[in-house]
Amino acid sequence: MTKKILGFAVFVFLAITLLSSIFLPSSSFLLGDTKAYAQQAPIKLELNVWATNFFAFIAQEKGYFKQNNVNVELTLVPDYLQFLKDYSNGQYDGIIGVYSDIMLQDNQV
Protein backbone atom coordinates (compact mmCIF):
# COMPACT_ATOMS: atom_id res chain seq x y z
CA MET A 1 0.00 0.00 0.00
CA THR A 2 2.84 2.39 0.83
CA LYS A 3 4.43 1.74 -2.59
CA LYS A 4 1.15 2.65 -4.30
CA ILE A 5 0.91 5.92 -2.39
CA LEU A 6 4.55 6.72 -3.08
CA GLY A 7 4.11 5.86 -6.76
CA PHE A 8 1.03 8.06 -6.98
CA ALA A 9 2.87 10.93 -5.25
CA VAL A 10 5.76 10.63 -7.73
CA PHE A 11 3.29 10.57 -10.63
CA VAL A 12 1.54 13.72 -9.36
CA PHE A 13 4.88 15.47 -8.84
CA LEU A 14 6.04 14.64 -12.37
CA ALA A 15 2.69 15.68 -13.86
CA ILE A 16 2.77 19.03 -12.06
CA THR A 17 6.39 19.60 -13.10
CA LEU A 18 5.63 18.81 -16.73
CA LEU A 19 2.49 20.95 -16.85
CA SER A 20 4.14 23.89 -15.12
CA SER A 21 7.03 23.84 -17.57
CA ILE A 22 4.56 23.95 -20.45
CA PHE A 23 2.00 26.44 -19.15
CA LEU A 24 3.90 28.81 -16.85
CA PRO A 25 5.40 31.87 -18.51
CA SER A 26 9.09 32.61 -18.52
CA SER A 27 10.86 33.95 -15.46
CA SER A 28 11.28 37.36 -17.09
CA PHE A 29 7.51 37.56 -17.30
CA LEU A 30 7.10 36.58 -13.65
CA LEU A 31 9.72 39.05 -12.49
CA GLY A 32 8.22 41.90 -14.49
CA ASP A 33 11.05 42.40 -16.95
CA THR A 34 10.19 45.66 -18.69
CA LYS A 35 12.72 44.99 -21.47
CA ALA A 36 10.73 41.93 -22.52
CA TYR A 37 7.59 44.07 -22.46
CA ALA A 38 9.16 46.77 -24.61
CA GLN A 39 10.43 44.25 -27.19
CA GLN A 40 7.14 42.40 -27.37
CA ALA A 41 5.05 43.10 -30.47
CA PRO A 42 1.77 44.71 -29.45
CA ILE A 43 -1.48 42.81 -29.52
CA LYS A 44 -3.67 44.89 -31.81
CA LEU A 45 -7.21 45.12 -30.49
CA GLU A 46 -9.99 46.95 -32.25
CA LEU A 47 -12.97 48.35 -30.36
CA ASN A 48 -16.19 49.89 -31.53
CA VAL A 49 -18.06 52.68 -29.76
CA TRP A 50 -19.94 50.91 -26.99
CA ALA A 51 -20.06 51.82 -23.31
CA THR A 52 -18.61 48.59 -21.93
CA ASN A 53 -15.70 48.55 -24.39
CA PHE A 54 -14.14 51.55 -22.70
CA PHE A 55 -13.03 49.36 -19.79
CA ALA A 56 -10.10 48.38 -22.01
CA PHE A 57 -9.04 52.05 -22.23
CA ILE A 58 -9.43 52.42 -18.47
CA ALA A 59 -7.22 49.36 -17.97
CA GLN A 60 -4.64 50.86 -20.30
CA GLU A 61 -4.72 54.25 -18.53
CA LYS A 62 -4.33 52.63 -15.11
CA GLY A 63 -1.38 50.60 -16.40
CA TYR A 64 -2.93 47.17 -15.92
CA PHE A 65 -1.60 45.87 -19.24
CA LYS A 66 1.95 47.06 -18.55
CA GLN A 67 1.76 45.77 -14.97
CA ASN A 68 1.01 42.31 -16.38
CA ASN A 69 3.62 42.60 -19.16
CA VAL A 70 1.09 42.71 -21.98
CA ASN A 71 1.73 45.15 -24.79
CA VAL A 72 -1.69 46.12 -26.15
CA GLU A 73 -2.50 48.59 -28.91
CA LEU A 74 -6.14 49.71 -28.73
CA THR A 75 -7.88 51.28 -31.73
CA LEU A 76 -11.33 52.82 -31.55
CA VAL A 77 -13.36 52.49 -34.77
CA PRO A 78 -16.70 54.34 -34.80
CA ASP A 79 -18.08 52.58 -37.92
CA TYR A 80 -19.30 49.10 -36.94
CA LEU A 81 -19.22 47.64 -40.46
CA GLN A 82 -15.67 48.90 -40.96
CA PHE A 83 -14.84 47.43 -37.56
CA LEU A 84 -15.95 43.97 -38.72
CA LYS A 85 -14.23 44.30 -42.12
CA ASP A 86 -10.91 45.29 -40.55
CA TYR A 87 -10.99 42.25 -38.30
CA SER A 88 -11.91 39.83 -41.09
CA ASN A 89 -9.14 41.31 -43.29
CA GLY A 90 -6.60 40.50 -40.56
CA GLN A 91 -5.65 44.06 -39.69
CA TYR A 92 -6.16 43.34 -35.99
CA ASP A 93 -5.32 40.42 -33.72
CA GLY A 94 -8.67 40.64 -31.99
CA ILE A 95 -11.76 42.72 -31.47
CA ILE A 96 -13.93 43.57 -28.52
CA GLY A 97 -17.44 43.45 -29.82
CA VAL A 98 -20.72 41.60 -29.80
CA TYR A 99 -20.12 37.89 -29.24
CA SER A 100 -22.51 36.71 -31.95
CA ASP A 101 -20.92 39.00 -34.56
CA ILE A 102 -17.44 37.77 -33.65
CA MET A 103 -18.55 34.14 -33.97
CA LEU A 104 -20.12 34.90 -37.34
CA GLN A 105 -16.91 36.55 -38.56
CA ASP A 106 -14.77 33.61 -37.44
CA ASN A 107 -17.06 31.18 -39.25
CA GLN A 108 -16.87 33.14 -42.50
CA VAL A 109 -13.08 33.38 -42.62
pLDDT digits (tens, 9 = 90+) for 48-63: 888 888 889 999 999 9
Nearest to 53 by CA among 101, 106, 103, 95: 95
Look at residue 24 in the predicted model and tell me its pLDDT.
47
**More confidently predicted of 104 and 55:** 55
Judge if 69 and 99 occupy the same domain: yes
Judge if 13 and 53 occupy the same domain: no
Judge if 9 and 37 occupy the same domain: no
Judge if 12 and 54 occupy the same domain: no
Q: Are 73 and 44 in contact (CB under 8 A)?
A: yes
pTM check: above 0.85: no
Percent of the chain at pLDDT > 90 equals 22
CA atoms of 49 and 20, how far apart (whole Å):
39
Examine the pLDDT at 90 and tell me if it is beyond 50.
yes
Number of Cβ within a 10 Å radius of residue 96: 17
Helix (H) or strand (E) run with residue 95 in it:
strand 94-96
Judge if 55 and 82 occupy the same domain: yes
Percent of the chain at pLDDT > 70 equals 61
Judge if 48 and 14 occupy the same domain: no
Judge if 49 and 79 occupy the same domain: yes
Range of the domain at 3: 1-26
Judge if 16 and 43 occupy the same domain: no
> How many domains would you assign to the chain?
2
